Amino acid sequence: MATVRRPAVSLLILDDNAGSLELLSSALAQPELEILTASDPEEGLDLVFDRHPQIVLTDLVMPRLSGLDVLERIMEFDPSIDVILMTAHYSTESAVEAIQKGACDYLNKPVSIAALRERVGKLIENARKRLRALQLEDELLENAEFEGIVGNSPLMWDVFSRVRRVAPHYRAVLVTGETGTGKDLIAQALHRLSPASGGRYVVLNCSAVVETLFESELFGHVKGSFTGAVNDKPGLVEHAHGGTLFLDEIGDMPLSTQAKLLRVLQNQEVQRVGSLTPHKVDVRVIAVTNRDLRAAITEKRFREDLYYRLSMVEIRVPGLRERREDLPLLERHFVARFAEQYGKKIRGLTPRAQIRLSLHGWPGNVRELENVIGHACMMTQGDTIDVPDLPQYMQSGSGSAGAAPDAVPDGDVATLEDQERHLIVRALEQAGGNQSKAARMLRIGRDALRYKLKKHNLEATG
């Protein structure tokens, strides 16, 4: 039987007393645990930003920065890090303040080694479970993709099942759902899994075509059929012969054009504008809409016979609020995509950022989530996305104190590179040119800052 390797956990011990560092390091050492130490609080914070330990054990009273200051900086960086404060000057007030600021424990010196081992041991096991859960989520994400569509909820598995069953046989199919649900992805999956996958996939956005040109665009025309028709021109239906015609926003198609489309579906033939001769075509049609077509029929804006022809096979794509259990998977999917696109190493979202996203109503569905994560991946200066990295409308109130320097105003942003360079320059100015201080303000490690300085041809001292 293969041995399962436990996920490695790192622990940072921060104490200005060298003897305490040695004692605690020796007492807490165990297999699969990386122990980092620092006697200077600023060096300790650099290690937090560089190495991202899951647990930090810090003294309360230290020069330049107190344990509470360190705690606040760590909570700004990643509130999921477990921080234990130790002090020989215990008071109920300071203990309450530490817990309120995010500490998971507050211990009185001299600390019982047995009690400390037990307490830290539980945190290590919890950290291992979290790391294992992240590994399982990655494995789940790999198995929860269907033709590039992410979903593991019962509603989405039902959609995937319908697509598999329909794709080999359909001639016409109606895909419905709210804006941003991914209807176009479902249409592409239907095409790829159909016998017409080797043919063209021709797209027409019905809401973007001028009504007077609709029939010519869709069905083509012959020379002289109208002013400007100087040559015979095949339409998109003929262009899609042997493949698939994707009609986006079918509810915006003019009534006169709907009648001719019905003929294409019924007889598999098309007649160009101005021609008396029909042409046989072999084309599959996927119609997509976010409108209520039944209401449009009542209002005489959509043909009932066309609706029944299309809706013989209908696939409804659920909104994101109907499948909230897919939210964590979608978050990881988009974080991985945008991290690769922007050339960043981003592990994921902080717990409070995940909570913020889970409470949102998502009127724009998956497309809105994609935009939110894309914005956050661009804005984050660390390896995790926190609430201040989210778009302004997703935040409640202003960002927390000590956050990264202000971003470039929207009107001044040309590229991601410009944005990054501006943030670095601003941090260096506020830090008086000190690289270590600037790195802490940006919530990145010193090595990462040096790399970015070189990339942007910037210089700083310290």
Q: Quick one: pLDDT at residue 419? A: 65
Q: Quick one: pLDDT at residue 237? A: 92
Q: What type of residue sits at position 178?
A: E
| Residue 445's pLDDT band (cuts 50, 70, 90) | low
| Residue 402's pLDDT band (cuts 50, 70, 90) | very low
For residue 377, what are its two tokens? 């991946």
Residues across the chain: 462
Q: Could you report the per-residue pLDDT of 411-442, keeping only the tens digit for each?
A: 333 455 666 777 788 888 888 888 877 777 77
| Section 132-139 average pLDDT | 76
| Section 284-304 average pLDDT | 95
At residue 37, what are phi and psi to the nearest 5 degrees? -135, 155
**Mean pLDDT over each residue of the chain, to the nearest integer:** 85
What whole-number percentage of the chain has pLDDT above 70? 90
Q: Could you report the per-residue pLDDT of 37-64, keeping only the tens digit for each?
A: 999 999 999 899 888 899 999 998 888 8
Residue 226: closest CA among 279, 278, 275: 275
Residue 151: closest CA among 333, 419, 5: 333
Pick the CATH number of 154-316 from 3.40.50.300, 3.30.70.260, 3.20.20.70, 2.20.25.240: 3.40.50.300
pLDDT of 254 above 50: yes
| Section 260-269 average pLDDT | 91
pLDDT of 365 above 90: yes
Rounded to the nearest 10 degrees, how much is the dihedral formed by the CA atoms of 8, 14, 20, 21? Answer: 50
pLDDT of 389 above 80: yes
Pick the CATH number of 9-142 from 3.30.565.10, 3.40.50.2300, 3.40.1400.10, 3.40.50.300: 3.40.50.2300
Class of domain 321-455: mainly alpha
pLDDT of 297 above 70: yes
Q: Quick one: pLDDT at residue 15? A: 92
Of residues 94 and 116, more confidence is placed in 116
| Residue 292's pLDDT band (cuts 50, 70, 90) | very high
CB 349 within 8 A of CB 311: no
pLDDT of 6 above 80: no
DSSP element (H, E) containing 245: strand 244-248
| Section 341-356 average pLDDT | 87
Q: Could you report the per-residue pLDDT of 316-336, keeping only the tens digit for each?
A: 999 999 999 999 999 999 999
Q: Say if 9-142 and 154-316 have the same CATH topology.
A: yes
State pTM to two decimals.
0.69
Q: Quick one: pLDDT at residue 362? A: 94
pLDDT of 401 above 60: no
- By mean pLDDT, which of 100-109, 230-239, 426-435, 444-453 is the weakest? 444-453
| Residue 208's pLDDT band (cuts 50, 70, 90) | confident
* Domain spans of the chain, in order of start: 9-142, 154-316, 321-455
| C-alpha separations of 66 from 15, 159, 401 in Å | 10, 55, 17
Q: Could you report the per-residue pLDDT of 144-198, keeping only the tens digit for each?
A: 889 989 999 999 999 999 999 999 999 999 999 999 999 999 999 999 999 999 9
